[in-house]
């Protein structure tokens, strides 16, 4: 399967614990995005990378959230000191840029976080 993969698919944690999600984009895609989706809402943009550079962060991304893409391939999203309000589906997407850009984001199946 050469699509976007995310791990873990489900994570249940207690309030105050740290969690980390991993995203492996489509291999030739140089842009990688993180979105968050809460129940009954559409996905909300969190941040994106072009290669290893983090180009933009949403105001939704508090100081407890950090994302990295160290080698321009996979990315991690860490949430420190989780709160119940962090419970959501975290979606990763990837795309090409430049002349190869088809205008489309390719999404993974998401990592569902439940904070007790």
Partner 1 sequence: AQSVTQLDSQVPVFEEAPVELRCNYSSSVSVYLFWYVQYPNQGLQLLLKYLSGSTLVKGINGFEAEFNKSQTSFHLRKPSVHISDTAEYFCAVSDSDDSWGKFQFGAGTQVVVTP
Closest CA to 112 of 37, 48, 15: 37
Closest CA to 51 of 26, 67, 29: 29
Q: Does 105 bind partner 1 (CB under 8 A)?
A: yes
CB 54 within 8 A of CB 65: no
Q: Give the residue, chosen from 2, 14, 28, 42, that forms a contact with partner 1 under the rule CB under 8 A.
A: 42
List binders of partner 1 among 20-39 (CB under 8 A): 31, 33, 35
Residue among 21, 34, 48, 90 that touches partner 1 (CB under 8 A): 48
Strand (E) or helix (H) holding 5: strand 5-7
Residue 110 beta carbon to partner 1: minimum distance, rounded to whole angstroms: 6
**What are the tokens at 101?**
């850009």
Interface residues toward partner 1, by CB under 8 A: 4, 31, 33, 35, 40-45, 48, 55-56, 91, 93, 95, 101, 103-110
């Amino acid at each position: 399967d050469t699509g976007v993969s995310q791990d873990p698919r489900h994570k249940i944690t207690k309030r105050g614990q740290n969690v980390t999600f991993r995203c492996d984009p489509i291999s030739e895609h140089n842009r990688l995005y993180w979105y968050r989706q809460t129940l009954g809402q559409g996905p909300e943009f969190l941040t994106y990378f072009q290669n290893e550079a983090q180009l933009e962060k949403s105001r939704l991304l508090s100081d407890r959230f950090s994302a990295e893409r160290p080698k321009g391939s996979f990315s991690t999203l860490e949430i420190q000191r989780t709160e119940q309000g962090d419970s959501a589906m975290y979606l990763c997407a990837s795309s090409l840029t430049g002349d190869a850009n088809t205008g489309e984001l390719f999404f993974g199946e998401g990592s569902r976080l439940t904070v007790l």
